A and B are shown apart, each in its own frame.
Chain A
Amino acid sequence: MNFVHFMLQNDVLELTWEHLWLVGISTLLALLVGLPLGIMIARWPRWNKPVLAGANIIQTIPSLALFGFLLPVPWLGARVERLAILALTLYALLPVIRNTYTGIRGVDPAVVEAGRGMGMTDRQLLFRVELPLALSVILSGVRVAVVISVGLATIAAAIGAGGLGEFIFRGLAMVNNQLILAGAVPAAILALSADLSLGWLERRLRPR
């Protein structure tokens, strides 16, 4: 009871909202960039290696370091939320691109050949056949991206971008476990509920 009271008193809702916002916007941006890239490398496989390698390299940069690296960049550094969103977007790219690629390549070649042979244009093939059939695989990539982002977004607080990480860093500095939990528990709940709901959607969309 004490803990709940504490959470309500300390802007938990506001910070959760901030956290969600960081994750939501960056996931959306990752989709806007990653989907076309994934489609592109599925269609022209010679771009596959460089694009996936690039996205992979980004994943290997420690998040704290990436936030630090981006801080001196002029327009970005002016508003740390921008910076946090950019970093989170970059991390979310790999699962989105890779699953879009895998999903499209995984469509039964006979289905694609039939569609092409019957006179579907590339665009019709993409929107009526390949993307609908790849949807559940793409969505599982989005699910991974969101779960990673929820965790990474806590670190955004290190550069002052807000979110539930505020509590965690404050708690660490003050050696206050309750404060740490006030950040960690809602973050874990966010990650779990995103995982469950997107997983449910993914199963519903899976072609049977």
Chain B
Amino acid sequence: MEPAGSGIAIEFRDVSYTLPSGQRLLSDLNLQVRRGETLVLLGRSGSGKTTTLKLVNRLLLPSSGEVRVNGAPTDVIQLRRSIGYVIQDVGLFPHYTVERNIALVPTIEGWSEERIRARVQELLRVVGLEPQMASRYPRELSGGQRQRVGVARALAADPPILLMDEPFGALDPLTRDELQREFLDLQQRLRKTVVFVTHDLREALRLGSSIALMEAGRLVTVLPPENFLHSDDPWAAAYVKAFGVGSYDAAERSAP
């Protein structure tokens, strides 16, 4: 374990991941995520972004190499409870109320009932939901509200690391914009270490403090967003061209 002040939260060393069928999803990944930054994994479908993410909370284990999560428990269950996890399909428990969904990790960690209730109320505020939402069931919520609950659930036990796998990908553009803005707000205050997967360059430019571009299971380059638009890298250039983004997004980013 590294000393507490160390700047690296997550580190990939020569990591490869191969399916039992022999298909290689990730090759020789070397990547560092600094504490408190939002690293965006950008790439097209099948480029290895989600695989990379799942290696962090050990939903997948590397075929070779090493993934280190500094300061995290070694036990896999405890490790996962100390890492927030948000996925595109949200995955709320349909038979649980919003309150019990948000309280998932605190409950299995054995928090007292009052502490859980107070925490849930606090989190509903944090993600911009009305307190009376607590007793609703997921089926009664809109897509945007569901993902807010998903984010609240991930934040429940105040984990230092947050993994987000295309969390806003299934939302309509307006709701997505709203949630992106709130994410920036939230991140300004909470300073979590975030690994954020997306295939949307605009989202990457807006939310990331650095962007790791992936292609066919390899890391192409890691760039700060302001350098991404003018990068010489052919893949980065191809991405910029495909999205047709100009300097507008970079300007918007600095004044949220």
Of the listed residues A111, A117, A124, A132, the one surrounded by the most CB atoms of chain B closer than 10 A to its CB is A117
Contact A118 B87 (CB under 8 A): no
Contact B78 A132 (CB under 8 A): no
Q: Is the C-beta of B153 less than 8 angstroms from some C-beta in chain A?
A: yes
Known contacts A118-B80, A119-B80, A111 near B93 by CB under 8 Å:
yes
16 contacts between A and B (CB under 8 A): A110-B89, A111-B91, A113-B87, A113-B91, A114-B85, A114-B92, A115-B91, A115-B104, A116-B80, A118-B85, A118-B104, A119-B79, A119-B80, A121-B77, A124-B108, A207-B95
Known contacts A118-B80, A118-B104, A108 near B95 by CB under 8 Å:
no
> Contacting A118 at CB < 8 Å: which of B81, B89, B90, B137?
B81
> Contacting A117 at CB < 8 Å: which of B57, B78, B94, B139?
B57
Binary flags per residue of A102-140, CB closer than 8 Å to B gives 1, else 0 = 000000101111111111110010001100110000000
Footprint of B on A, CB under 8 Å?
A: 108, 110-121, 124, 128-129, 132-133, 207-208
Instruction: Write the chain B residue with the least CB distance to A107.
Output: B94
Q: Give the residues in chain B near A119, CB-CB below 8 Å.
A: 77-82, 105, 108
Of the listed residues A108, A114, A128, the one surrounded by the most CB atoms of chain B closer than 10 A to its CB is A114
Q: Give the residues in chain A near B19, CB-CB below 8 Å.
A: none
Q: Is the C-beta of B174 less than 8 angstroms from some C-beta in chain A?
A: no
Known contacts A111-B92, A113-B91, A118 near B153 by CB under 8 Å:
yes
Give the residues from 63 to 97 in chain B that come closer than 8 angstroms, CB to CB, to chain A. Answer: 77-82, 85, 87, 89-95
Contact B108 A113 (CB under 8 A): no
Contact B90 A110 (CB under 8 A): yes
Q: Give the residues in chain B near A114, CB-CB below 8 Å.
A: 85, 87, 90-93, 150, 153
CA distance A183 to B123 in the complex (A): 63
CA distance A22 to B78 in the complex (A): 48
Nearest Cβ distance between residue B153 and chain A, in whole angstroms? Answer: 7
Q: How many residue-residue contacts, CB under 8 A, span A and B?
A: 64
CA distance A160 to B141 in the complex (A): 59
Nearest Cβ distance between residue B183 and chain A, in whole angstroms? Answer: 18
Nearest Cβ distance between residue B76 and chain A, in whole angstroms? Answer: 8
Apart from A111-B92, A113-B59: 20 A-B pairs, beta carbons within 8 A: A108-B94, A111-B93, A111-B94, A112-B91, A113-B87, A113-B91, A114-B90, A114-B91, A115-B93, A116-B59, A117-B80, A118-B105, A118-B153, A119-B81, A119-B105, A120-B77, A120-B104, A120-B108, A132-B95, A207-B95
CA distance A117 to B89 in the complex (A): 13
**Total contacting residues, chain B, CB less than 8 A:** 26
Nearest Cβ distance between residue A47 and chain B, in whole angstroms? Answer: 18
Summarize A's interface: helix, strand, loop or mixed. Answer: helix
Of the listed residues B93, B108, B137, B153, the one surrounded by the most CB atoms of chain A closer than 10 A to its CB is B93
CA distance A207 to B137 in the complex (A): 11
Nearest Cβ distance between residue B194 and chain A, in whole angstroms? Answer: 15
Q: Give the residues in chain B near A118, CB-CB below 8 Å.
A: 80-81, 85, 104-105, 153-154
Q: Give the residues in chain A near B137, CB-CB below 8 Å.
A: 208
CA distance A116 to B95 in the complex (A): 17
Contact B85 A117 (CB under 8 A): yes
Contact A108 B77 (CB under 8 A): no
> Contacting A129 at CB < 8 Å: which of B78, B93, B139?
B93
Instruction: Write the chain B residue with the least CB distance to A122.
Output: B77
Known contacts A118-B81, A121-B77, A133 near B87 by CB under 8 Å:
no
Q: Give the residues in chain A near B78, CB-CB below 8 Å.
A: 119
Nearest Cβ distance between residue B102 and chain A, in whole angstroms? Answer: 11
Give the residues from 154 to 168 in chain B that come closer than 8 angstroms, CB to CB, to chain A. Answer: 154, 163
CA distance A124 to B108 in the complex (A): 9
Nearest Cβ distance between residue A118 and chain B, in whole angstroms? Answer: 6
CA distance A116 to B78 in the complex (A): 12
CA distance A150 to B133 in the complex (A): 47
CA distance A116 to B80 in the complex (A): 8
Instruction: Write the chain A residue with the least CB distance to B84.
Output: A118
Q: Give the residues in chain A near B57, CB-CB below 8 Å.
A: 117
CA distance A50 to B59 in the complex (A): 28
CA distance A132 to B153 in the complex (A): 20
